[in-house]
Structure 1
Amino acid sequence: MDPSRLWAKGLRRNQTAHPSMLLINHLVDVHTSARLVLQATGKDQLRALGLDPELHHFRFEQCVLLAAAVHDLGKANDHFQGMILGKRDVRANPQGLRHEWVTVLLVQQLKSWLLPAVGGNELDLAIVEWAVAGHHPAADHPSPPRLCPPGAGVSLLLQVTHPDFQTILNWLRGKAFQIDLGPPPTLATQAIPLTGADNVFGTLAKWMRAAQRLWERLKKSPESRLVAAVKNCLIAADIAGSALPKPGAATNWKWIIDSFEDRPKAGDLAEVVRFRLGTDKPREFQKAVAASKAGVTFVKAGCGSGKTVAAYMWARDNYPTRRLYFCYPTTGTATEGFRDYLFDESEKTPRVGAALFHGRSDIDFELILHTGNDGQQKLEEQVRHDSLRAWKTPIVACTVDTVLGIVQNNRRGLYSWPALAQSAFVFDEIHAYDDRLFGALLRFIRDLPGLPVLLMTASLPSARRNALEETVAMRKQESLITIKGPAELEERRRYRRIDNVDPVAVVREVLATGKKVLWVCNTVQRVMQTAKELDDLKLLIYHSRFKYEDRVNRHADVINAFKGQGPALAICSQVAELSLDLSADLLVTDIATVPAIIQRLGRLNRRAKEGDPTKPFLVIEPENHLPYTPADLADARTWLARLPEEISQKDLSDRWEQTGEGQPDLVASAWLDGGPITSVTELRDASPGITVLMEADRDRVQAKPSELARLVLPMPPTKLQWQEWQRERGLPVAPNGTIDYDPKRGATWRE
């Protein structure tokens, strides 16, 4: 790399320098990308947020284009350039100030010159500054930074007299915008103080206080959503502008336009419906779902009622050429939904251009195909790659985090934003959302009123339903349309509870008749204890404490055992509640929360037909309440006591809806409420634990980085000093001897 030039990107292994890595060319690339993203999706982005394109599109375009043109100006500093050229070891001497904040300082200096690019509107220039400051959101990127990192030094030199920087200013003047900004101002070489009384962090704190005062005036007006749109559109443009230029080839900028035009073709969704229905005719309730024209439709129907087919019928009849996101609560349910509806087993390819997206979707797709993948992308690169794929994917099966993550500035949601703005959404199993995730769903519904939404669940407490109704009313003065499942299925007697029996004896008796038993425990520790008690039986163990590749295989083992002939016993943790599409003849379950028990019962007598006998379940009282609260279990006991002798899905739902659960709140949104601050917050309620890589797997990851997602191992908290362990790609490496691991039984700490 020529040290006399200003660079935006550094060299990776086995890579040679190419022109798009230069700072001037990168700014031009991202500006070009922004213009095309706006051309393809700009009005869709505004409509999604409830903003009238006729009123806001010109301002939106001006803000995004200016932000794209200047977003990395701050890389013209000696700390960043030293890092890129390999002259600065950032482990010992980190950058004193991240480049996006250096850019904010430069935009402040260039303010009067840049103002004409946004029509002289100082508010819009402030929005540009906020977008620039937040275009690399991360949990460890404070907004703004407050302290100089140890080892960074006492100052940072702005390279504003560099010939390349002058070239950038001349490009900004004459080619970046539709107007001539006039001669650029003359800037002198400057050293930004990182320490001392007048350090830059005090300057940024003052900038933030002024920005916050401005935001207070804006945040209840339509401009607040314009801020959100500008910030996300810049991030999307940066992703494409960085990824598309390739060494030795002309950049295929047409890819952006073509990708956003790649939506379901006429007949694609109808093909998915035909595939699943086969020779069956749709039920009346499925027709009612398909006929709903409401902005938000709520489907309440039990397991086996055909909700999923109804959802595809809804999309087919109302949004046949709109991109469709089918959102599931877990990676397991997303993978199963993709396999069941969007994957052609005979051809070993996805149907109608569909794709699977979640944190480990590439692994699941490989295992569906039983093939390998030689990809070498690092984790961040993989997220960016997946997001660009989403831009051109007509039908997406994904975890709900992929979509609702945008509410809290999580990467997958942010990077996919332009595609999300063109889409319709199905959110399945919404009763399984924790309070924080449900609150994010409420924000998505309220603050993105231009996006059509279908919500599905077997049951929902009245407090959550009331929250949905209130939120939908705030959206566009709409009413929540509710469609219930077919009465003949909802009222069919499927279950009966048996008490005062030895569960082990009952399990042995049922297995002796060649039937299937599902035993669900509240914790992995209880799974292992129960498996030890029944170790003389042929059994399967399934819980969360496996390496991911082994967990996928254990999932398949359980499904196949319950599909096949002969007896089967699976002892599982809570992971069985959502991702296992099976039908047991006996369910044994620890007492749990009401929605957890309802989900577990959904795996009992799942295929029941009219006139079939009910099948039994037992409820066990563990020694302690964990991972739930005593109040949760008290509510569950009250609910169980209300159930009749022979139980239908309607009984389960009706009795739960009568419980006194508190109404969930709309959560604060890092994206929509942040204004000048860009933070990343948790989408779901946090759960204690640590994700590690075993020392025995380290060589495999170092040889092939993409293997990391296959080999990560979620573990419970430990007394071991894991904070002091070595790290591999950010994960603690568990030394040999700290974990007992068996690919068929899972992992336990050696403490």
Structure 2
Amino acid sequence: MNDRPLMAKSGEGTDLARTLVGHTELVLTAANALFGGPGGPTRLGRSWLQFFGINGSEFERFRKHLRVAAAAHDWGKANQGFQGEVGADDHAAGQVLRHEHLSGLLLAEPSVLDWLRRQGLDEVVILAAVISHHVKASEQSIESPLLGTKGTVRIRTDHEDYLAICRLIEAEVGAPCSALPLTPTPRRTRWKESDIEARSRAISTILRRARSELFDDQERDRRRWIAAVRAALIVADAAGSASVRMDRDGDEDVRGVLVRWIRNCFAEELTGDFVWREVVERRIADLRGRGRWDESRGESFRGRGGFKPFQCTLATLGPRVLMTASCGAGKTLAAWNWITARLDERPAARVVFLYPTRATATEGFRDYVSWAPEAEAALLSGTAAYELQGMFSNPDDARHDRASYATDPRLFAIGCWGKRIFSATADQFFPFMQYAYGPLCTLPVLAESVLVVDEVHSFDRSMFATLKRFLREFPEIPVLCMTATLPESRRKDLVDHCGLVEFVEDTHAKSDHDSEYPRYHIEWIERDQARKLIAEELEKRRRVLWVSNRVSDCQDTFNDFDTGDGYVDPFGTAVSCYCYHSRFKLAHRQARHKELIGAFQDAVKDDARPRGLLGATTQVCEMSLDLDAEILVTELAPIASLIQRMGRCNRDPSRMRKQPPGRVYVLRPEAGREKPYEKEELALAACFVDRVAGRDVSQAELDRTYQELDPGQVEPSKLCPFLDSGPFAVGRVESFRETDEYSVPSILDIDESKVLAAIAAKQPIDGFVVPAPRHLARPVNPEASRLPRWLWIADGTRYEPRIGFDDRKRPDQGAKHNG
């Protein structure tokens, strides 16, 4: 016998949480703490079954399948190759196959499968959960699992820890199994390549047959069982693995730490009173302090005056709603009223706002979510840690002295479990449908949440298809989808096929006619004419927003009017010019965003002196710029994008009736320069502009014209591997977003030493990252650099903090550099 324990994790020492037996026991402990034990389900356990459409009376059956899978999930780590990988066997020659695949092969022995069936267990549910709990189980990898290290698998049947795992499996099944060894074997059991291949073909046959059966509509419930147990195992395994990084009180047992932490994360419910008091009231107090809230006007909600009628009506419409309201109308505050009403009806554990971009998620967090107590609120995005740095640095901000809204980075994806109110990018949650591991770990948050999905018009086709499938497959989650405008085809999808109740702001607010008031005057314009016109308007100290479809055109516009110290009109008055697009380092993009927003907002204050302002920007303005321009110049774009861009013009309802309509000038398209859009989209948009050009129009008329012109094309359905792959599971085979092949996340070559220093200091490097054109960047060489493999390196001489990364052709460079 070997006195050295079998290990599940690498690292120094033999801490219980790192040993194979200890880790397995911790995963079983996590399963109980998360979902419930013999006494019945936890609140999360009830929500989990409800989320997956499983009757609550089936809890004990769910629990038994989960615990058997948990006991067996790492069984395959008891092999010499894996033990060598984690430093527990000095004579190992490398892994021959993945440990979870070996776990599945051990379970798939005919006598073991027969034993599971005799105990009333669905062997396919357990096999699927075990073999795919790292979401790397494709049909091909199961049938041919060898990793390339040829040789023999030596299973540690000679070790007491192997027997301990067998006993754990027996205990969870509830009956002895003659196929499992009772005493150590004299030698390690050897499986040759031919043995592995034969067993792999056998298990592949079982799983393929099951998958064929699962496609039958009558097997829908079984598909959901597989998904529910597999996902539960993944999150229990993640929690058990994270226990080694959790804070302990003195000599506290790691099991006690894990149970305490999980219970703290899932202990409390959110009520309408809590959200109203801690979020809505605080936000209203902030608006009142800035002169933007008048309780003597409008309608009352929960005894508080000052609301627009539609903001109150929305709360009465039930748990599944599609709200369309114009830009600047107050959609987000209406959403919080809706959330409060849902929580009044049925308390939930979380509130989640999902946005399509990091910028909109950050704005949503800053404006509303951050008013919640810091222990409750979280911003989740790929750059959240960096975005939160200095967000409330102003000492006059009521949130200035709060320590941190960040989740615990040591716990990775499950670090968010302790928070209750979220502003996040959709990528942090919805890609569980594509088996993305991080979003799978956030599923316990989503499963007991009230959900708001904002800016749904800007979801690309892939994202929108995922949203539709989520709405259809998980009907128990209260969901509010919000948008300023929406194509008729998408409206029908959400209302007719996904069951959302449609709510349009102006149809429920007859006393509030802002949407019918002439807000814009729209004209076609040529480029040369536009430049001359805007020069004249800046001399008159107007606020101008110029939106280009390409970064290079945005930079050209900025350079046309900026002299370094600002454009100077003939009277000697400086005009402030700003350039804002996606191709900045994140640190500079934040600064440019803040400068642009601040300048436009300061210009409309009651005591402000008129000043000329020019914001040169791109599509990024469609969602993340809360500003009010007097004049908008925009390139022709798809209709929804045009309407979003117009929403940045004549935006303030309190001023709308006191001033002329905002002027909108649409640049005629140039042949051959349609990208990033399609010719057909722009042709339809040109028809739209023709219909509304030459006169004053309201927001409502824009929307009606859009609906009249919308071709009503049905967007394609999307495969949902989470529900459609049956017993197999492979992460990211399907992408949540439509991929952008043009840009790659890069750092400038001149920043490489700074980035390496930040990595060494365990500091975020997001501030250095800039999306650069692929053809102007080179991938990191992992063998020669300590930089992350996902990064690329771009030419620092092409970057300037005021205009960002410049991909325009240089005089001394060939066409290959022409962006």
Structure 1 residue aligned with 2:298: none
- Within 2, Cα distance between the matches of 1:571 and 1:740? 19
Do 1:701 and 1:708's aligned partners in 2 also have CA atoms closer than 8 Å? Answer: yes
- Within 2, Cα distance between the matches of 1:736 and 1:424? 42
- Within 2, Cα distance between the matches of 1:619 and 1:721? 37
Question: Cα distance, 1:302 vs. partner?
Answer: 0.7
Question: Cα distance, 1:194 vs. partner?
Answer: 4.4
Structure 2 residue aligned with 1:129: 127
- Within 2, Cα distance between the matches of 1:181 and 1:652? 71
Which of 29, 34, 47 is matched with 2:50 structurally? Answer: 47
Cα–Cα, structure 1 residues 227 and 306, in superposed 2: closer, same or farther, change >3 Å?
Answer: same
SS of the counterpart of 2:545? strand
Structure 2 residue aligned with 1:168: 165
Question: Cα distance, 1:282 vs. partner?
Answer: 1.7
Counterparts in 2 of 1:278-297, with a 5 A limit? 278=288, 279-280=294-295, 281-293=306-318, 295-297=319-321
Question: Cα distance, 1:340 vs. partner?
Answer: 0.8
- Within 1, Cα distance between the matches of 2:95 and 2:767? 33
Which of 621, 628, 636 is matched with 1:591 structurally? Answer: 636
Question: Cα distance, 1:257 vs. partner?
Answer: 2.2
The one-letter code sitting in structure 2 at the alignment partner of 1:671 is F
Cα–Cα, structure 1 residues 192 and 662, in superposed 2: closer, same or farther, change >3 Å?
Answer: farther
Structure 1 residue aligned with 2:358: 331
SS of the counterpart of 1:718? helix
Structure 1 residue aligned with 2:385: 362
SS of the counterpart of 1:165? helix
Structure 1 residue aligned with 2:212: 213
Structure 2 residue aligned with 1:707: 764
SS of the counterpart of 2:220? coil
- Within 1, Cα distance between the matches of 2:236 and 2:216? 28
Cα–Cα, structure 1 residues 31 and 268, in superposed 2: closer, same or farther, change >3 Å?
Answer: same
Q: Which structure has more RCO (C-alpha within 8 Å, separation ≥ 6)? A: 1
User: Does 1:682 find its partner at 2:708?
Assistant: no
TM-score normalised according to structure 1 size: 0.89
Structure 2 residue aligned with 1:600: 645
Structure 1 residue aligned with 2:95: 95
Do 2:451 and 2:478's aligned partners in 1 also have CA atoms closer than 8 Å? Answer: yes
User: Does 1:38 find its partner at 2:35?
Assistant: yes
- Within 1, Cα distance between the matches of 2:192 and 2:696? 75
Residue by residue over 1:655-674, the C-alpha shift from the partner in whole angstroms, topping out at 9 and shown as x without a partner, is 11221041224321011111
Counterparts in 2 of 1:133-532, with a 5 A limit? 133-137=131-135, 144=142, 146=144, 148-150=146-148, 152-174=149-171, 176=172, 179-181=174-176, 185-186=180-181, 189-194=188-193, 198=197, 202=201, 205-217=204-216, 220-245=219-244, 246=246, 249-251=252-254, 252=257, 253-265=259-271, 267-271=273-277, 272-277=279-284, 278=288, 279-280=294-295, 281-293=306-318, 295-320=319-344, 321-322=347-348, 323-344=350-371, 350=373, 353-370=376-393, 382=409, 385=411, 387-473=413-499, 480-485=501-506, 486=509, 488-500=513-525, 502-532=529-559
Cα–Cα, structure 1 residues 735 and 673, in superposed 2: closer, same or farther, change >3 Å?
Answer: closer
The one-letter code sitting in structure 2 at the alignment partner of 1:717 is R
The one-letter code sitting in structure 1 at the alignment partner of 2:765 is L
Question: Cα distance, 1:330 vs. partner?
Answer: 1.0
RMSD across aligned positions (CA): 3.2
- Within 2, Cα distance between the matches of 1:727 and 1:422? 43
- Within 2, Cα distance between the matches of 1:75 and 1:229? 24
Structure 1 residue aligned with 2:572: none
The one-letter code sitting in structure 2 at the alignment partner of 1:108 is A
Residue by residue over 1:334-354, the C-alpha shift from the partner in whole angstroms, topping out at 9 and shown as x without a partner, is 11011111224xxxx856822
Question: Cα distance, 1:481 vs. partner?
Answer: 4.1
User: Does 1:654 find its partner at 2:704?
Assistant: yes
Do 2:453 and 2:479's aligned partners in 1 also have CA atoms closer than 8 Å? Answer: yes
Structure 2 residue aligned with 1:476: none
The one-letter code sitting in structure 1 at the alignment partner of 2:383 is R
Range with bigger deviation, 214-223 or 667-676 = 214-223
Cα–Cα, structure 1 residues 244 and 496, in superposed 2: closer, same or farther, change >3 Å?
Answer: same
Residue by residue over 1:68-93, the C-alpha shift from the partner in whole angstroms, topping out at 9 and shown as x without a partner, is 11111111112211111087899xx8
The one-letter code sitting in structure 2 at the alignment partner of 1:604 is C
Cα–Cα, structure 1 residues 728 and 144, in superposed 2: closer, same or farther, change >3 Å?
Answer: farther
TM-score normalised according to structure 2 size: 0.82
Structure 1 residue aligned with 2:73: 71
Structure 1 residue aligned with 2:607: none
- Within 1, Cα distance between the matches of 2:804 and 2:746? 14
Range with bigger deviation, 630-639 or 452-461 = 452-461
The one-letter code sitting in structure 1 at the alignment partner of 2:464 is F
SS of the counterpart of 1:470? helix
Cα–Cα, structure 1 residues 390 and 89, in superposed 2: closer, same or farther, change >3 Å?
Answer: farther
SS of the counterpart of 2:524? coil
- Within 2, Cα distance between the matches of 1:724 and 1:195? 37
Structure 1 residue aligned with 2:748: 694
Residue by residue over 1:473-506, the C-alpha shift from the partner in whole angstroms, topping out at 9 and shown as x without a partner, is 5xxxxx6343434351211221112334622222
Range with bigger deviation, 629-638 or 725-734 = 725-734
Cα–Cα, structure 1 residues 386 and 734, in superposed 2: closer, same or farther, change >3 Å?
Answer: closer
Question: Cα distance, 1:392 vs. partner?
Answer: 2.7
Cα–Cα, structure 1 residues 736 and 451, in superposed 2: closer, same or farther, change >3 Å?
Answer: closer
Structure 2 residue aligned with 1:632: 681
Do 1:110 and 1:185's aligned partners in 2 also have CA atoms closer than 8 Å? Answer: no
- Within 2, Cα distance between the matches of 1:633 and 1:94? 57
Question: Cα distance, 1:9 vs. partner?
Answer: 0.7
Cα–Cα, structure 1 residues 119 and 438, in superposed 2: closer, same or farther, change >3 Å?
Answer: farther
**May I ask how many residue pairs the two structures share in their alignment?**
725
SS of the counterpart of 1:267? helix
Cα–Cα, structure 1 residues 139 and 490, in superposed 2: closer, same or farther, change >3 Å?
Answer: farther
Structure 1 residue aligned with 2:606: none
- Long gaps (5+) in structure 1: 474-478
Cα–Cα, structure 1 residues 31 and 436, in superposed 2: closer, same or farther, change >3 Å?
Answer: same
